[in-house]
């Protein structure tokens, strides 16, 4: 990737896994369980919008005590 991703940039499951340092299988497991970031099916491919990933990460953040 040449440029920093913007909010509408689409990530593949492999891109998402690399971004948050988890195995690709974990991304697919989250998707099937409905617990990961919102995904979009485009043809036979799954993609994740960067803004959805950021919102999901914010929601997963630890809350201060």
Q: Render pLDDT for 3-60 as a digit per residue (tens, 0 to 9).
A: 555 778 999 999 999 999 999 999 999 999 999 999 999 999 999 999 999 999 999 8
Domain ranges, residue 28: 10-60
**Residue 65: inside a domain:** no
**Residue 46: inside a domain:** yes
Question: How many domains does the chain divide into?
Answer: 1
**Residue 1: inside a domain:** no
For residue 57, what are the contacts with CB-CB under 8 A and spacing of at least 6? 20, 37
**Residue 43: inside a domain:** yes
**Residue 29: inside a domain:** yes
- The pTM for the full model equals 0.82
**Residue 4: inside a domain:** no
Six token digits for residue 62: 């630890």
Contact of 50 with 9, CB cutoff 8 Å: yes
**Residue 3: inside a domain:** no
Q: What is the pLDDT of residue 61?
A: 85
């Amino acid at each position: 990737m040449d440029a920093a991703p913007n909010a509408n940039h689409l990530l593949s499951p492999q891109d998402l896994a690399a971004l948050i340092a988890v195995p690709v299988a974990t991304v697919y497991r989250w998707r099937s369980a409905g617990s990961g970031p919102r995904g979009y099916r485009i043809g036979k491919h799954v993609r994740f919008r960067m803004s959805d990933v950021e919102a999901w990460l914010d929601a997963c953040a630890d809350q201060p005590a």
